[in-house]
Every structure is written in C-alpha cells, then in structure tokens.
Chain A
Amino acid sequence: MRPSRAAVLLGLSCLVGAGCASVEELTRDLPGVKPLKYTMAGADREQRASLARGLTELKAGDYAAAVRSLRQALWDVEQIDKPWLRLQELVEVHRALAVAYTGLERDEWSEEQRALAQALVEYGRRENESGAPDTALAKAKAAYQAAHFREAVAAFGQALVELEGLSPTPVRLRALEEARCHLVLTYFALGQEERASEEARQLAAREGATTACRRQAPPPVQALIRDVEVNEARAGKRSGD
C-alpha cells in the first residue's frame, strides 16, 4: 500500500471511529433531525413540544417562562419509551434548565442541573451494566427515613438518574414522582424552603403528582405544596390570558 493511500484510510477510520458523537453534535440543531429521531423511536413528536417551547423562550431570554416549560418537558420526555432518545432529550432539558436558572441567578440550582445532565450522559454510556434501578430509590428512602437528610438529597439525585433504567414507562413515572416528592420533603426538612418549593413546582408539572405527595406530607409541607399549586395555577392562567 502506498503511504498516501494508507494515510487516507487511517484518516477515514479515525473519522468513523470518532464519528457518531460528532455527527450527533453537528446535526443536533438541524431542522428535521429531531422529528426524524422521534419517528425512528416511534415516539410522539408532541412529547418534545414543551422542550421546544422552553428552548425558544430561553433564546428570547424569558427565563421564568423557560423554566415553566422545561419543568413540563421533564415529564413529557419521560414518556418516550426508547431509552436512547429519552436520555438524549432529558439531558437537553436539564442543560436548558441549567441555563435558565443561571439567567434567574440561581447558580446553585443551575449547577445541580448540569450535574444531573452529566450524570445522565454517563448513565447512557454504562446503561447495559446498570444494576436494579429501584435499589437506588430504596437506598435514598432509607437515608431519608433514618433522618440522614443531606445524604438523602444526594441519594435521591442518584435515584433520578438510575430510575431511567426502569420500565415500563408508567412504573418509571410513578417511581420518579415518589423520588421528587421525597426531595420536596427532604429539602423542607433541611430548612431549604425555596428549593423545596422549586422541587414541588417540578412535581406540579405532572398532573396529579402533588395530590399524592400531599397525602404523605406533614401540614407545613402540605401548605407549601398548596402554595405552589395556587401560584402555578395563577401563572398558568396569566400566561393563558
């Protein structure tokens, strides 16, 4: 083989080897790529509507509206059955939330969203070797029950990632609701009421989830959740008007 041909072949193989991720990056924002992916995954394109709206609001600098849409998107993309597409979209939602929180000067929350996005990316890489996903939730709940609240926050964050391995979708959604409800309770226990409220708002984006959560919450948390529901209803009404 002549040296020049060998070099070309080597170059091509490098491109192919490194290729998928780069192609993924390059085509991410091209029109038609996302709908095509949804078609390939047999998913409903409507499941991306909140994410798409959130991204538009983010570009327009309307961070509060973007956060509202992205909270909804968290639950919408969770309904995608195909794990590869669901993970991609979830990562995008969390990254967008990180930007929106930064815009709202919530740097700490933004960091959490970035960390979650990164954890989901890493989870996607090791998905095949993932253990029993409900074990993560059980461990987090055990930490919570034993009044180890700081450890519980980290454990529930981990559970939100690991639960991506749980199927079918309704079972996963119920487990995610449970994890997020416990996060509301845990943040409240830690005296981080604003953070608890934000977690309750994320929960409120899923219809009926706060009702179930309220049943297991003490009166102060019930009041906090009700506060969130009232304010979200008002905000929804306002944006509807």
Chain B
Amino acid sequence: MIEQTSPAALNTAEHKPLLFGRYEILSELGRGTSGVVYKAQDPKLDRLVAMKILRPELASLEESGVELKQRFHQEAVAAGRLTHPAIIAVHDVGEAEGRPFMVMEYIEGGTLADLLVGGRPLPLAEAAGIVLQVCGALDYAHRHGVVHRDIKPRNILVGQLGVTKVTDFGTARILGANHTQTGTMLGTPAYMSPEMVRGQAVDPRSDLFSLGVVLYETLTGVNPFNATDLAAVLYRIVNTNPPSLRHHNPVLPPALDGVVRRALAKEPEARYATATDFADALREAAGPQRTGLLSVVRDAVGDAWRTRLLAHPARVVAVGVTCLLALGAGTWAVWGRGPDVPRAQDSAGVKREAGLKARPETPTVAAPPATEPVAVTPKESGCLSVNAVPFAEVYIDDRPAGYTPKACLRVPVGEHRAHFVMNGQRSPERLLRITARHTADTPLRMSYDFNTRRFGDQ
C-alpha cells in the first residue's frame, strides 16, 4: 500500500519528480569543490542514495581538454574497490545530461564537523570510538594503495549509534593532481600534513597526521594549527608544536598527549607507521573500557536514557541485542554484496538530516580544479547573505554558488564580483569586499529584485 505513494507513483503534473538518470533527486545534501551531493531515490531498488554529480562548470572543462569525466569515473571505480564497513559504499557510476555522477550509500546522521560545531569537544569515549573506526578505514585503504589526502571532520560521517564512515576517497585526484605529483597543494589547510604544505610527495603517514589533527580537535574543540590567515596556518603546521591536549581539556588522560604528539610529528618517519599502530596506541591511552561501541552508544544516548536503561537491566540486554543485530545486518549487507559491486566513497560537504544541526558549509564557492585546489575553511571566509526576487542562482567571480535565499554563503575573504541569474536574465554585477568580520550574525548582504531591476540597498 505504501509503495503506491512512492515518488515514482506521484509522477503527475503536480508532483513531477526531478530525475537524473534513473534516480529521483529529493533534496540537496551539500556541496563540495568538485560536485553537488543530493539525496535521491533509486526507484529500481526502492532505496535512498546519496548522489554526487560533477559540477557543470567542471564538466564543461572537458571541452578544453581536461579529461575530468574520465578521471571522475576512474576514481569512482578505484574507490569502489575499497570494501570496508567504515568506508562509504559506491553503488553506481554513470553519466546523464553530459555530467558524470556517482551513486553512494546514504547515511542518516551528520558529519563529525556537525558534531564539533561551536568548538564543543566530544566525550573521550565518543571521540576515540570515531577515530578508531577511521583508523580501521584508513588501514584498509592504505593496504590497498590508496591515500585519502583529505581527512578532516567534514569527510567523516557519523551515523546513528556512532557508526562512522569515511567519505571522499580519491576526489583529490579528480581535482587535478595525480598520485605522485608533487608541488601541488591539496586538502584543507588546517588538516594538511607538513609534507603536503611543502608540496612534497605524500604517503599513508600523511593521512595519520591529518587524523591526529582531527583527534586533537575532537577532544578539545580546537584545531591545533588554527590561525587567522592561511599563511599562519601553514607556518604553524610546518614549524610549531601545538599545546598539550590537557591545556584545553584538563580531564583527559595524560597518555593521550603522547599519542597526539606522535601523530602530529613533523617528520613522517617519527609518526606511527600504520593506522593500526595509531589505533593500538589510542586504545591503550584512552583506556580499555572507554572505546567500545556500546560505550559510544551509551554516551550518545545521554544521561536520561542511561538512567532509564540502567534502572531496567532487561532493557540493557534488549538494547545490546538490537545493536548486535544491527551490526550483524550491516556486516551481512557489506559482505553479501559480492566482489563485483563497487564500494566506498562519498563527497565533501555531505550534510545529513537526522537530529544533527549542520554547520554552515565550508566554501560553497567552488575552487576550480588544479589551479586553486586549497579549500577554504570558515576561518578564511566570511558570510554573504543573499536573496533575489524571484529566486535566482548566485554567481561569485563568474562561478555558480547555489541558489537564493541563503543566509550565509561562505565566500573567501577578499574582493569578489557577484551577480544573480534568473531564467537567463542577469543582474548587474556588484563588487563585494568580504572580511572575517562578516559572520553568520553580521553577514554582508546582497539582494536584488528582478521586477524592479534594483538592488536592495538602492
């Protein structure tokens, strides 16, 4: 009965679905530098999926000789070979309307960045549980010759019950650098390893440095190399050692400092050799009772539930059995997929819905591939509040940056040209000067009325 009201069944003039290939686009989940990710429905298998579609301006670069489509496809296939419970599965790749797409597993939840919003650290058990699962994913990827190169909170999805999955494997290569290329900066500055900053070749230990930064931030709420401008961030990564974890969070076990210090060693040789070594050290420092999934669940469900559960031992057993069944089903689903089904990876900027408030997206203004591969974090960007009547697409420096209305469009600090486009009509251009003082509370505003052909402040 319910199937009769599925999206496909509502394909009337009034409820015409937005189709891309065979997939029905339901809503936008987020935007990364290379693509836009949508929540979509696969009508064939009647399941929700996350669908990443290459940005049109990148797809059009094909005409200028950049083989982006082929590389997008190759990367998806390569990433799809990674089959691990902590790596997002790739279900399908293809091309529609001249734009390549990648169909991935859809996870209810949010990114680790969402959990850290407002500089709030996570409880040790939860933080360690998440980082240990990432270690598992990285260890698997590294053993298969894949270096992620962009480990950061936004690329770590945390689903219900603390189940963690790493996304965006291989996207860096799409952005214009091949695996061995040096001299090109990739990744998000505050999570880069010193060798990435220097433009040297990277190996798996670079990912472990980035994961060390993530661990530091997850435990303290503070990025260890945070600074007001990009140059200062990069300088700190290469030259300075961050303060002790206990400087920010005195209740943390002292042994954790040693783990983070080794992960954040400037020279790769001084770091953990493998993700498994990192995980073992973290497990030991955090304490054996603190890092199990059930303790993560217990922390996640909060005090009220804990009290209720502990008052009813039978419920504890029931919850335990349910968790085991869920894990069992997940494992079965992963192993039962068969060897020819591609696995792994999602995109940057995935924003999930269930219960988690998303932090404003890091730049919605796309950097073009290869030429400007350094992503912009909120520290180097400001908020632009935009609206147009009727709704329109916003262009910053001639690149599409999404639709109006938007209260905080992240734009890199500096001068930019902006205009709106509505049904082929283009508004006049405005020169904007974005500063770090343009926050979500005090954004720079730009609005335009296509009926009167006037900007809001005219």
Residues of A within 8 A of B (CB): 144-150, 185-186, 188-194, 211, 216-220, 222-224, 226-227, 229-230, 233-234, 237-238, 241
> How far, in Å, is B17 (CB) from chain A's closest CB?
7
Contact indicator B27/A223 (Cβ below 8 Å): yes
Question: What residues of B have a CB within 8 angstroms of the CB of A144 in the complex?
Answer: 387, 405
Q: Select which of B2, B7, B353, B403 is within 8 A of A218 by beta carbon.
A: B403
Which segment, of B146-154, B222-230, B271-279, B441-449, faces chain A? B441-449
> Is the CB–CB distance between B7 and A147 below 8 Å?
no
0/1 string, B381-411, CB within 8 A of A gives 1: 0000111011100000000001111111000
Instruction: Encode B407-430 as 1/0 by CB contact (under 8 A) with A.
Output: 110000000000000000000000
Is A226 a contact partner of B15 (Cβ separation < 8 A)?
yes
Residue B64 at the A interface, CB < 8 A? no
Decide: A237 near B387, CB < 8 A? Known: A147-B447, A193-B353, A224-B27: no
- Do A237 and B445 have beta carbons less than 8 Å apart? no
CB-nearest residue of chain A to B38: A223
A223 close to B447 (CB less than 8 A): no
Residues of B close to A238: CB separation below 8 A: 1-2
With A185-B405, A233-B5, A237-B4 known as contacts, the answer to whether A147 contacts B456 (CB < 8 A) is yes
Q: Whole-angstrom distance between the alpha carbons of A189 and B38 in the complex?
A: 17
B6 at the interface (CB under 8 A from A): yes
CA distance A150 to B383 in the complex (A): 14
Q: Known pairs A191-B360, A219-B18, A227-B27. 18 more at Cβ < 8 A?
A: A144-B387, A145-B449, A146-B447, A147-B456, A189-B404, A191-B407, A191-B408, A216-B390, A219-B28, A219-B403, A220-B27, A220-B403, A223-B27, A223-B28, A234-B5, A237-B2, A237-B5, A241-B1
- CB-based contact B25/A147 at 8 Å: no
- Find A233's partner among B10, B39, B391 (CB 8 Å cutoff): B10
B405-A188 in contact (CB<8A): yes
B7 touches A230 (CB 8 A): yes
Q: Which of A190, A211, A217 has the most CB of B within 10 A?
A: A190
Contact A230 B27, CB 8 Å, known A146-B456, A191-B360: no
| Bound: A5/B406 CA distance, A | 70
In the complex, which residue of chain B has the Cβ closest to the Cβ of A222? Answer: B18
A222 surroundings in chain B (CB, below 8 A)? 18
Cβ of A149 and Cβ of B27 under 8 Å apart? no
Residues of B within 8 A of A148 (CB): 385, 445
Set B1, B26, B405: member contacting A147, Cβ < 8 A? B405
Q: How far is the CB of B404 from chain A (nearest CB, A)?
A: 6
**Is B407 within 8 A of A194, CB to CB?**
no
A sample of 10 inter-chain contacts (CB < 8 A) reads A147-B443, A150-B407, A189-B405, A216-B390, A222-B18, A223-B25, A230-B7, A233-B5, A234-B5, A241-B1
| Chain A residues whose C-beta falls within 8 Å of the C-beta of B447 in the assembled complex | 145-147
Binding site for A on B (CB under 8 A): 1-2, 4-7, 10, 14-15, 17-18, 25-28, 38-39, 353, 357-358, 360, 385-387, 389-391, 402-408, 443, 445-447, 449, 456
Taking a contact as CB atoms closer than 8 A, the residue among B5, B26, B360, B387 that contacts A227 in the complex is: B26
CA distance A28 to B404 in the complex (A): 46
* A230→B6 contact, CB < 8 A: yes
Residues of B close to A241: CB separation below 8 A: 1
B26 contact from A189, A211, A216, A223, Cβ within 8 A: A223
Q: Is B26 a contact of A218 with CB atoms below 8 Å?
A: no
Q: How far is the CA of A149 from the CA of B442 in the complex (A)?
A: 11
Given A220-B403, A227-B27, A241-B1, verify A146-B353 contact (CB < 8 Å): no
Q: Which residues of B contact A150 (CB under 8 A)?
A: 407
Complex alpha-carbon distance, A113 and B228, angstroms: 41
Q: Closest chain A residue to B392 by CB distance?
A: A218
- Among B4, B26, B403, B445, the residue within 8 A (CB) of A226 is B26
Contact of B2 with A230 in the complex, beta carbons under 8 Å: no
**Cα distance, A234 to B3, chains bound together (Å):** 8
Q: Which residues from A are CB-within-8-Å of B385?
A: 147-149, 189
Give the CA-CA distance A162 to B286 in the complex, in Å: 57
* Among candidates B2, B6, B389, B406, residue contacting A189 with C-beta atoms closer than 8 Å: B406
Q: Across the interface, name the chain A residue whose C-beta is closest to B441.
A: A150
CA distance A125 to B10 in the complex (A): 46
**Is A194's CB under 8 angstroms from B7's CB?**
no
B18 proximity list for chain A (CB < 8 A) = 219, 222-223, 226
How many angstroms from the CA of A220 to the CA of B29 in the assembled complex? 9
Task: Say whether A147 contacts B15, CB under 8 Å.
Answer: no
- What chain B residues lie within 8 Å of A224 (beta carbons)? 27
Contacts of B7 in A (CB 8 A): 226, 230
Min Cβ gap A201→B in Å is 14
Among candidates B10, B403, B407, B445, residue contacting A230 with C-beta atoms closer than 8 Å: B10
Q: Tell me the bound Cα distance from A126 to B408 in angstroms.
A: 38
A233 to B389, CA, bound (A): 30
A189 near B407 with CB under 8 A, answer: yes
Minimum C-beta distance from B286 to chain A (A): 30
- Residue of chain B at shortest CB distance from A229: B15
**In the complex, which residues of chain B have a beta carbon less than 8 angstroms from the beta carbon of A219?**
18, 28, 403
**CB of A101, distance to nearest CB on chain B (Å):** 15
Task: Give 8 nearest A-B pairs by CB, closest first.
Answer: A218-B403, A189-B405, A218-B391, A147-B387, A223-B27, A147-B385, A233-B5, A220-B28
B5–A145 touching, CB < 8 Å: no
Of the residues A145, A147, A218, A227, contact of B407 by C-beta under 8 Å:
A147
| Interchain CA distance A203-B220 in the complex, whole Å | 42
Chain A residues, CB < 8 A from B4? 237
Across the interface, B2 reaches (CB within 8 A) one of A149, A193, A227, A234, namely A234
Residues of chain A lying within 8 A (CB to CB) of residue B403:
218-220
A224 to B26, CA, bound (A): 7
Q: Is B28 a contact of A147 with CB atoms below 8 Å?
A: no
Alpha-carbon distance A226/B18, docked complex (angstroms): 10
B387 touches A146 (CB 8 A): yes
Q: Is the CB of B27 within 8 A of A190?
A: no
> Chain B contacts of A194 at CB under 8 A?
353
Closest residue on chain A to residue B351 by CB atoms: A193
| Distance, CA A191 to CA B14, complexed state (A) | 26
- Docked CA distance A223–B20 (Å): 13
Query: Which residues in B have their C-beta under 8 angstroms from that of A185?
Result: 405
**Residue of A whose beta carbon sits closest to that of B14:** A211
Most buried by B among A150, A194, A222, A223: A223
Q: With CB as the reference atom, state the residue of chain A lying closest to B354.
A: A194
